[in-house]
Amino acid sequence: MAIFSVDKKHVEPSSLKRAKPDVYGHKYPIESNEIITEALSLFNEEIDKLADKDREGIAKAEKRCPEIINTKEHKLMFLRSDNFMVDLAAKRFANYWNKRIELFGEKAFSPLTISDSLNNDKEALNTAFCKLLKAKDDVGRSIIYMDPALLDDSKYTRDSMLRVIWYVVHVALEEKETQQRGIIFVNNNGNNPEIRQFDRVLVGKIAHSLQHEIPIIIGALYILHIPRLLVVFMNVIKHVLGSGISKQMKVVGGSNQMILQKLDKHGMYKEDMPVDIGGDLKYDNESWVRQRVEAEL
């Protein structure tokens, strides 16, 4: 979920404790071997309670790729994403596998890689719309930087771009710290995206995946340099994003210097931010893709 609300009606380990709220309001679980063992047991019980229709993707994956779906590490991502509220994590797990199979087809049963999973999505990947930055914030959250001005739906389908976003988020989730602390999304509109580049359908697909399918904690969504035309449609944007993500949305205006000062106060520093917003980072998407392909061999 985008933000945690601890509700005792949810199923969770009996002795679970949470830390004090962080700067974005998240109360992270205090993990221990005991908590993890109990949570995994409860998680499996909750999965068994799901309707057969909801479990279709899980059943297929258990037959086709048990080495992925049945691992402790895989299931833990979902428990962490829903604050160890086990019933919610089980529903996300089912949603995830149903969507993963719908989106990737036969490739869903293999590890997500550029060469295999995205071999038909090079145009979407090469837009560099969605970039995983090397640096994290000062408590270990990954940072994904997005530039809508790079979108061009004449070159790819919405599902193609969605597959790329799934992939980039999964790369971030390879880090245990990211699973536990979440991801900061920084959306920069300072490169003057055209109004047509605000694709409500694509934004809706992305938001739905982040809120209900991919095992992710959304630390915050920073909207930078929001165009005047989009200010008028702010309520529409919030509706498309959904209530969970909208609660985590931070609209930041002003000069690049003012924006960097705001980000700096939240543990994201000038030397790690892209030059587009006045930072020092010259992001090389081709190099990142090449390094990922080599790492996945």
Residues 58-111: tens digit of each pLDDT: 999 999 999 999 999 999 999 999 999 999 999 999 999 999 999 999 999 999
How far, in Å, CA of 269 to CA of 277, rounded?
Answer: 12
How far, in Å, CA of 140 to CA of 177, rounded?
Answer: 6
146, 188 contact by CB (below 8 A): yes
What are the residue ranges spanned by the domains of the chain?
33-109, 120-295
pLDDT at 272: 98
Q: Which residues of the chain have pLDDT under 70?
A: 1-8, 193-197, 227-236
Instruction: Specify the amino acid at residue 194.
Output: E
206, 165 contact by CB (below 8 A): yes
DSSP state of 181: H
24 CB neighbour count, 10 Å cutoff: 20
pLDDT at 196: 66
Q: What pTM does this model have?
A: 0.93
The candidate with the shortest Cα–Cα distance to 93, out of 70, 111, 118, is 70
283, 131 contact by CB (below 8 A): yes
144, 169 contact by CB (below 8 A): yes
- Output phi, psi for 98, to 5 deg: -65, -45
The CATH number of the domain covering residues in 120-295: 3.40.525.10
Q: Of how many residues is the chain composed?
A: 297
Residues 202-236: tens digit of each pLDDT: 999 999 999 999 999 999 999 998 766 565 566 66
